[in-house]
A and B are shown apart, each in its own frame.
Chain A
């Protein structure tokens, strides 16, 4: 931690040097329903038009000629028996996706932070690290995830290297970490660069080293700001875990494909789609809650 004489105690959980920093504009989410003087009336109009919109849309879909004809959309995509048959089988394999994305997310958080910090290192001496980090994010944001998975998943075992596992799950996780770290590093960097330079200057003037300023002043604020976009990337990663099917591993998507191909019925896809939505909703709500809590704490001006 550097020179003990210059150690400055920074209380844990403090958002930054200045806890009463003004709330960034636009951070209060707009209301879903209209407000204003005749707020009540607006609410009713909103509810009514929403209900009508969806009712009309539903009626049009259900009454379309392809909906309920033989082998129509209803039977091919929304077959109740097929749904009951496929959902447990899909869930059974979906745990593999859960494992893959949970492990990958933890690794991405760490690796991307390393990349972002590398990118923010000041001084001429760190140029190679900055260039490396920059080149990495450019390269891996440019590569389609499925190609990285295919190249690693089929290519690495073919090399027959000693000591490296040949498991699909291993290489899939590596591929996802490589690709998503590039995105998340940029998210981190955006967060770091959004912190006003005066914060770093203030921290330095209080006697913190560059490292300490980054660790105790910049990053805590930066990471808080980027929680919603981080969640974006994690949801993306969770969905891309389905690409592992390409390697021959039976996970959620492959299981759905197998049943679909056997039965000539697309209901398993709908079942899998539902599973993805169901796991996404609580995560989104959690992040909303987290951001809200953070806002409230800042507004009350202290450490809750």
Chain B
């Protein structure tokens, strides 16, 4: 009997050591007080930062134009090409927005650190090794069960791009798209637009990233690709065939994704709201994104 007890004891001890829970300190999210500036709020929540005195922002790698542009800075893990950019450059809508946001929160350019992550990491449970993810993430109620979203920083809708000779060219109705082979990158609302609005007869194809979708578009494996509206203008394909209407009444918005309970979010919300009100976001949009509204909307 003693042997049994020893064996059981050893097992328990081993398991306990292997799985010893890390002490977790959950600091409840407090909303930024009305009379604090965003920067003061960020100082007050400095303990919520992943790295001391640094704003660590996660995004994808490659980072696509027109959201991320410019040239690669030395030693950057992001490679700038004709389709991609480097978040460190400050060029491209999201990169420029990030540095403007950091400035509001009281961080200098040098205090902004970028982390390349696969999409799934932005919502995986557990402590995050970044402060928030900025990767054209659409806000939804379902997603908000896993992360905390900032207020929206960009209103977005989806558009269809195709190359010369594609049967998609000239189509003006959603019904006209039904028999085409459409593609979209994984993890985007572009795919939802295909399944919900087009309801195609041909199964849509879903790619790991935009690059692979464009490769198949070029090969003629697919007829057209659905991307967000600003991306559609970035020369990824010959023609922007049309844009998709906002159905269901709710405007799709991009938001920053935080670990739940991160107190910094209230400061970021305050900063974004201010940037919205004083026209900063509009100016960024004018500077970095195509605002051509002459593209027909599918009916």
Contact = CB atoms under 8 A, between A and B. Distances in A.
Interface of A: 45, 48-49, 52-53, 56-57, 60-61, 63-66, 69-73, 75-77, 154, 157-158, 160, 166, 245-246, 248-250, 254, 257-258, 260-266
Contacts of B145: 71, 75, 263-265
Contact of A70 (B120, B126, B261): B261
The A interface is mostly helix, strand or loop, or mixed, namely helix
Nearest to A73: B125
Nearest to B16: A60
Given A56-B11, A65-B22, A262-B192, A248 B123 contact: no
A75 B147 CA distance: 12
Nearest to A64: B21
Interface stretch (B167-175, B215-223, B288-296): B215-223
B206 A250 contact: yes
A148 to B, nearest CB: 16
Interface stretch (B49-57, B93-101, B183-191): B183-191
Nearest to B22: A65
14 contacts: A64-B19, A65-B21, A65-B23, A71-B125, A71-B260, A76-B124, A76-B146, A249-B205, A250-B203, A250-B205, A260-B120, A261-B120, A263-B143, A265-B145
Contacts of A76: 123-125, 146
Contacts of B188: 261
Interface of B: 3-4, 7-8, 11-12, 15-16, 19, 21-24, 26, 119-120, 123-126, 140, 142-143, 145-147, 183, 186-188, 191-192, 203-208, 212-213, 215-216, 218-222, 260-261
A60 B12 CA distance: 10
B19 A61 contact: yes
A49 B219 contact: no
Contacts of A258: 186, 191, 206
B208 A60 contact: no
